Amino acid sequence: MTSTAPDTIVLVHGLWMTPRSWEGWVPYYEAKGFRVLTPAYPGFEIEVEALRQDPDVIARLTVPETVDHLAAVVESVATPPILMGHSFGGVLTQLLLARGLGSAAVAIDSAPTEGVRVNPLSQARSLFPALKNPANRHLAVGFTPEEFHYAFTNTLGAEASREVWDRYAIAAPGHWVFEYGLFANFKPGRQETWVDYDADRAPLLFIGGEKDHIMPPAVNRSNARHYHRSPAVTEYREIAGRDHWTCGAPGWEQVADLALGWALDHARSDQPWRPEGSVRRS
Protein backbone atom coordinates (compact mmCIF):
# COMPACT_ATOMS: atom_id res chain seq x y z
CA MET A 1 0.00 0.00 0.00
CA THR A 2 1.05 3.59 -0.48
CA SER A 3 0.16 6.81 1.30
CA THR A 4 2.24 9.09 -0.91
CA ALA A 5 0.56 11.95 -2.76
CA PRO A 6 0.88 11.75 -6.54
CA ASP A 7 3.91 13.52 -7.97
CA THR A 8 3.50 12.44 -11.60
CA ILE A 9 0.89 13.30 -14.22
CA VAL A 10 0.36 11.12 -17.29
CA LEU A 11 -1.28 12.94 -20.22
CA VAL A 12 -2.91 10.77 -22.91
CA HIS A 13 -3.61 12.36 -26.28
CA GLY A 14 -6.63 11.66 -28.46
CA LEU A 15 -7.27 10.75 -32.09
CA TRP A 16 -6.11 13.07 -34.86
CA MET A 17 -3.41 14.23 -32.42
CA THR A 18 -0.01 13.28 -30.96
CA PRO A 19 1.72 14.13 -27.65
CA ARG A 20 2.59 17.48 -29.23
CA SER A 21 -0.98 18.55 -28.38
CA TRP A 22 0.10 18.72 -24.70
CA GLU A 23 3.08 21.00 -25.31
CA GLY A 24 1.59 23.84 -23.26
CA TRP A 25 0.54 21.61 -20.38
CA VAL A 26 3.92 19.97 -19.80
CA PRO A 27 5.86 23.07 -18.69
CA TYR A 28 2.74 24.41 -16.96
CA TYR A 29 2.51 21.36 -14.69
CA GLU A 30 6.28 21.01 -14.35
CA ALA A 31 6.39 24.56 -12.99
CA LYS A 32 4.04 23.33 -10.26
CA GLY A 33 6.52 20.65 -9.27
CA PHE A 34 5.15 17.62 -11.12
CA ARG A 35 6.85 15.13 -13.36
CA VAL A 36 4.82 15.00 -16.58
CA LEU A 37 4.72 12.07 -19.00
CA THR A 38 3.08 12.30 -22.44
CA PRO A 39 3.26 8.77 -23.87
CA ALA A 40 2.51 8.39 -27.56
CA TYR A 41 0.43 5.59 -28.99
CA PRO A 42 2.70 2.79 -30.26
CA GLY A 43 4.47 4.06 -33.37
CA PHE A 44 3.40 7.67 -32.78
CA GLU A 45 6.72 8.60 -31.15
CA ILE A 46 7.83 10.31 -34.38
CA GLU A 47 6.88 13.87 -35.29
CA VAL A 48 3.57 15.01 -36.75
CA GLU A 49 5.16 15.70 -40.11
CA ALA A 50 6.58 12.17 -40.37
CA LEU A 51 3.22 10.59 -39.49
CA ARG A 52 1.59 12.62 -42.23
CA GLN A 53 4.10 11.36 -44.77
CA ASP A 54 3.78 7.69 -43.76
CA PRO A 55 0.47 7.01 -41.96
CA ASP A 56 0.59 3.20 -42.27
CA VAL A 57 1.42 2.82 -38.57
CA ILE A 58 -1.76 4.74 -37.78
CA ALA A 59 -3.95 2.49 -39.92
CA ARG A 60 -2.58 -0.69 -38.31
CA LEU A 61 -2.88 0.38 -34.67
CA THR A 62 -5.23 -1.47 -32.30
CA VAL A 63 -6.84 -0.38 -29.04
CA PRO A 64 -5.57 -3.36 -26.96
CA GLU A 65 -1.93 -2.78 -27.91
CA THR A 66 -2.36 0.92 -27.18
CA VAL A 67 -3.83 0.28 -23.73
CA ASP A 68 -1.09 -2.25 -22.94
CA HIS A 69 1.55 0.26 -24.02
CA LEU A 70 0.08 3.05 -21.90
CA ALA A 71 -0.40 0.73 -18.93
CA ALA A 72 3.29 -0.14 -19.02
CA VAL A 73 4.14 3.56 -18.83
CA VAL A 74 1.78 4.12 -15.90
CA GLU A 75 3.08 1.04 -14.08
CA SER A 76 6.65 2.29 -14.43
CA VAL A 77 5.90 5.20 -12.08
CA ALA A 78 6.85 4.57 -8.46
CA THR A 79 3.81 6.38 -7.01
CA PRO A 80 0.31 6.03 -8.53
CA PRO A 81 0.09 8.97 -10.94
CA ILE A 82 -2.73 11.25 -11.95
CA LEU A 83 -4.12 10.24 -15.35
CA MET A 84 -5.58 12.76 -17.80
CA GLY A 85 -6.89 11.97 -21.25
CA HIS A 86 -8.37 14.12 -24.00
CA SER A 87 -10.95 12.89 -26.53
CA PHE A 88 -10.21 9.20 -27.26
CA GLY A 89 -7.51 9.60 -24.65
CA GLY A 90 -10.44 9.88 -22.25
CA VAL A 91 -11.56 6.40 -23.27
CA LEU A 92 -8.03 5.08 -22.85
CA THR A 93 -7.90 6.72 -19.42
CA GLN A 94 -11.10 4.93 -18.42
CA LEU A 95 -9.64 1.63 -19.62
CA LEU A 96 -6.52 2.25 -17.54
CA LEU A 97 -8.65 2.99 -14.48
CA ALA A 98 -10.49 -0.28 -15.07
CA ARG A 99 -7.14 -2.04 -14.65
CA GLY A 100 -6.75 -0.50 -11.22
CA LEU A 101 -4.20 2.09 -12.32
CA GLY A 102 -3.83 5.71 -11.25
CA SER A 103 -4.65 7.66 -8.11
CA ALA A 104 -7.21 9.91 -9.82
CA ALA A 105 -8.19 10.63 -13.40
CA VAL A 106 -9.69 13.31 -15.61
CA ALA A 107 -11.36 12.64 -18.97
CA ILE A 108 -11.55 15.85 -21.02
CA ASP A 109 -14.05 16.01 -23.89
CA SER A 110 -13.96 12.22 -23.80
CA ALA A 111 -15.07 9.90 -26.54
CA PRO A 112 -17.62 7.43 -25.14
CA THR A 113 -16.93 3.98 -23.78
CA GLU A 114 -19.23 1.16 -24.87
CA GLY A 115 -22.85 1.58 -23.85
CA VAL A 116 -23.02 5.37 -24.15
CA ARG A 117 -25.77 5.77 -26.72
CA VAL A 118 -25.99 9.55 -26.97
CA ASN A 119 -25.11 10.69 -30.52
CA PRO A 120 -25.86 14.41 -31.04
CA LEU A 121 -26.18 15.71 -34.59
CA SER A 122 -22.95 17.73 -34.38
CA GLN A 123 -21.07 14.53 -33.48
CA ALA A 124 -22.45 12.72 -36.52
CA ARG A 125 -21.55 15.67 -38.74
CA SER A 126 -18.03 15.82 -37.28
CA LEU A 127 -17.38 12.11 -37.87
CA PHE A 128 -19.07 11.93 -41.28
CA PRO A 129 -15.86 12.64 -43.27
CA ALA A 130 -14.38 9.42 -41.84
CA LEU A 131 -17.57 7.36 -41.98
CA LYS A 132 -18.86 8.33 -45.43
CA ASN A 133 -16.66 5.79 -47.22
CA PRO A 134 -16.62 2.19 -45.91
CA ALA A 135 -13.11 1.78 -47.36
CA ASN A 136 -11.88 4.21 -44.70
CA ARG A 137 -12.27 1.43 -42.14
CA HIS A 138 -8.91 0.05 -43.27
CA LEU A 139 -7.12 3.36 -43.73
CA ALA A 140 -5.70 6.26 -41.74
CA VAL A 141 -8.33 8.98 -42.10
CA GLY A 142 -7.64 12.68 -41.66
CA PHE A 143 -9.67 15.87 -41.63
CA THR A 144 -9.32 18.63 -44.17
CA PRO A 145 -8.65 22.03 -42.57
CA GLU A 146 -12.33 22.89 -43.02
CA GLU A 147 -13.54 19.63 -41.48
CA PHE A 148 -11.10 20.08 -38.61
CA HIS A 149 -12.42 23.60 -38.03
CA TYR A 150 -15.94 22.29 -37.53
CA ALA A 151 -15.01 19.25 -35.42
CA PHE A 152 -12.19 20.62 -33.23
CA THR A 153 -11.75 24.39 -33.36
CA ASN A 154 -15.20 25.84 -34.02
CA THR A 155 -14.72 28.69 -31.52
CA LEU A 156 -11.64 29.94 -33.40
CA GLY A 157 -11.47 31.93 -36.58
CA ALA A 158 -10.53 30.18 -39.83
CA GLU A 159 -6.94 31.45 -39.80
CA ALA A 160 -6.30 30.44 -36.19
CA SER A 161 -7.90 27.05 -36.84
CA ARG A 162 -5.66 26.48 -39.84
CA GLU A 163 -2.59 27.20 -37.69
CA VAL A 164 -3.73 24.52 -35.24
CA TRP A 165 -4.32 22.06 -38.09
CA ASP A 166 -0.91 22.79 -39.58
CA ARG A 167 0.95 22.15 -36.32
CA TYR A 168 -0.97 19.31 -34.70
CA ALA A 169 -3.38 17.39 -36.94
CA ILE A 170 -2.66 13.88 -38.19
CA ALA A 171 -4.88 11.07 -39.45
CA ALA A 172 -6.70 8.63 -37.17
CA PRO A 173 -7.16 4.84 -37.49
CA GLY A 174 -10.28 4.45 -39.59
CA HIS A 175 -11.35 1.26 -37.88
CA TRP A 176 -11.28 3.00 -34.49
CA VAL A 177 -13.75 5.59 -35.78
CA PHE A 178 -15.99 2.87 -37.25
CA GLU A 179 -15.73 0.39 -34.39
CA TYR A 180 -15.96 2.81 -31.46
CA GLY A 181 -17.78 5.77 -32.97
CA LEU A 182 -21.46 6.00 -33.83
CA PHE A 183 -21.89 2.29 -34.58
CA ALA A 184 -20.22 0.67 -31.57
CA ASN A 185 -23.45 -0.06 -29.74
CA PHE A 186 -25.00 -1.83 -32.71
CA LYS A 187 -22.44 -4.64 -32.60
CA PRO A 188 -23.08 -7.82 -30.59
CA GLY A 189 -20.90 -8.68 -27.61
CA ARG A 190 -18.44 -6.62 -25.66
CA GLN A 191 -16.21 -4.25 -27.57
CA GLU A 192 -12.63 -3.27 -26.75
CA THR A 193 -13.90 -0.05 -25.15
CA TRP A 194 -16.09 -1.88 -22.63
CA VAL A 195 -15.53 -1.14 -18.96
CA ASP A 196 -17.24 -2.44 -15.83
CA TYR A 197 -19.12 0.69 -14.81
CA ASP A 198 -20.01 -0.77 -11.41
CA ALA A 199 -16.46 -1.59 -10.30
CA ASP A 200 -14.45 0.32 -7.73
CA ARG A 201 -11.49 2.32 -9.06
CA ALA A 202 -9.75 5.66 -8.65
CA PRO A 203 -11.87 8.86 -8.70
CA LEU A 204 -12.80 10.14 -12.16
CA LEU A 205 -13.79 13.60 -13.38
CA PHE A 206 -15.36 14.25 -16.77
CA ILE A 207 -14.87 17.74 -18.21
CA GLY A 208 -17.10 18.77 -21.10
CA GLY A 209 -16.89 21.81 -23.32
CA GLU A 210 -20.13 23.69 -23.95
CA LYS A 211 -19.28 24.31 -27.62
CA ASP A 212 -17.66 20.94 -28.40
CA HIS A 213 -19.02 19.56 -31.68
CA ILE A 214 -17.33 16.17 -31.98
CA MET A 215 -17.77 15.08 -28.32
CA PRO A 216 -20.57 17.33 -27.05
CA PRO A 217 -21.41 17.73 -23.36
CA ALA A 218 -24.33 15.31 -23.65
CA VAL A 219 -21.90 12.51 -24.51
CA ASN A 220 -19.71 13.18 -21.49
CA ARG A 221 -22.68 13.60 -19.14
CA SER A 222 -24.05 10.26 -20.28
CA ASN A 223 -20.68 8.57 -19.90
CA ALA A 224 -20.37 9.89 -16.34
CA ARG A 225 -23.91 8.73 -15.45
CA HIS A 226 -23.06 5.18 -16.48
CA TYR A 227 -20.84 4.97 -13.39
CA HIS A 228 -23.64 5.77 -10.92
CA ARG A 229 -23.49 2.34 -9.27
CA SER A 230 -19.74 2.45 -8.72
CA PRO A 231 -18.57 3.15 -5.15
CA ALA A 232 -15.84 5.36 -6.61
CA VAL A 233 -16.20 9.11 -6.96
CA THR A 234 -17.38 10.17 -10.44
CA GLU A 235 -18.19 13.79 -11.26
CA TYR A 236 -18.90 15.98 -14.28
CA ARG A 237 -17.97 19.59 -14.90
CA GLU A 238 -18.82 21.71 -17.92
CA ILE A 239 -16.88 24.76 -19.05
CA ALA A 240 -18.76 27.45 -20.94
CA GLY A 241 -17.54 28.47 -24.37
CA ARG A 242 -15.00 25.67 -24.82
CA ASP A 243 -14.68 23.61 -28.01
CA HIS A 244 -12.90 20.28 -28.59
CA TRP A 245 -9.54 22.02 -28.85
CA THR A 246 -10.00 23.03 -25.24
CA CYS A 247 -6.51 21.85 -24.20
CA GLY A 248 -4.88 24.27 -26.64
CA ALA A 249 -7.36 27.05 -27.33
CA PRO A 250 -6.90 30.39 -25.52
CA GLY A 251 -7.75 29.97 -21.86
CA TRP A 252 -6.59 26.34 -21.71
CA GLU A 253 -5.02 27.12 -18.33
CA GLN A 254 -8.53 27.19 -16.84
CA VAL A 255 -9.03 23.61 -17.99
CA ALA A 256 -5.60 22.53 -16.73
CA ASP A 257 -6.20 24.11 -13.31
CA LEU A 258 -9.63 22.53 -12.93
CA ALA A 259 -8.28 19.10 -13.89
CA LEU A 260 -5.29 19.23 -11.57
CA GLY A 261 -7.10 20.79 -8.63
CA TRP A 262 -9.87 18.20 -8.74
CA ALA A 263 -7.43 15.32 -9.13
CA LEU A 264 -5.32 16.43 -6.16
CA ASP A 265 -8.41 16.94 -4.00
CA HIS A 266 -9.74 13.46 -4.79
CA ALA A 267 -6.60 11.37 -5.34
CA ARG A 268 -6.68 8.06 -3.51
CA SER A 269 -3.72 7.40 -1.27
CA ASP A 270 -4.70 3.82 -0.47
CA GLN A 271 -4.21 2.33 -3.93
CA PRO A 272 -2.32 -0.98 -3.93
CA TRP A 273 0.61 -0.40 -6.25
CA ARG A 274 3.00 -2.89 -7.74
CA PRO A 275 4.80 -1.16 -10.61
CA GLU A 276 6.60 -4.37 -11.52
CA GLY A 277 4.42 -7.30 -12.46
CA SER A 278 1.12 -5.57 -11.73
CA VAL A 279 -1.98 -7.69 -12.10
CA ARG A 280 -4.01 -6.24 -14.93
CA ARG A 281 -7.76 -6.34 -15.18
CA SER A 282 -9.20 -6.53 -18.66
pTM (2 decimals)?
0.93
Q: What is the pLDDT of residue 269?
A: 75
**Residue 228 located in a structural domain:** yes
Pick from 122, 165, 237: nearest CA to 17: 165
Ranges assigned E (strand) in the chain = 8-12, 35-37, 82-86, 104-108, 140-141, 172-173, 204-209, 234-239
From first to last of its 282 residues, the chain has per-residue pLDDT tens of 445 889 999 999 999 999 999 999 999 999 999 999 999 999 999 999 999 999 999 999 999 999 999 999 999 999 999 999 999 999 999 999 999 999 999 999 999 999 898 889 999 999 999 999 999 999 999 999 999 999 999 999 999 999 999 999 999 999 999 888 665 555 655 778 999 999 999 999 999 999 999 999 999 999 999 999 999 999 999 999 999 999 999 999 999 999 999 999 999 977 655 444 444 433
**Residue 119 located in a structural domain:** yes
Pick from 74, 116, 32: nearest CA to 276: 74
**Residue 281 located in a structural domain:** no
> What is the domain-level CATH number for residue 36?
3.40.50.1820
φ, ψ (nearest 5 deg) of residue 105: -145, 155
Q: What is the pLDDT of residue 111?
A: 95
**Residue 152 located in a structural domain:** yes
Q: Domain range spanning residue 33?
A: 8-266
Q: What is the pLDDT of residue 272?
A: 59
Domain count, the chain: 1
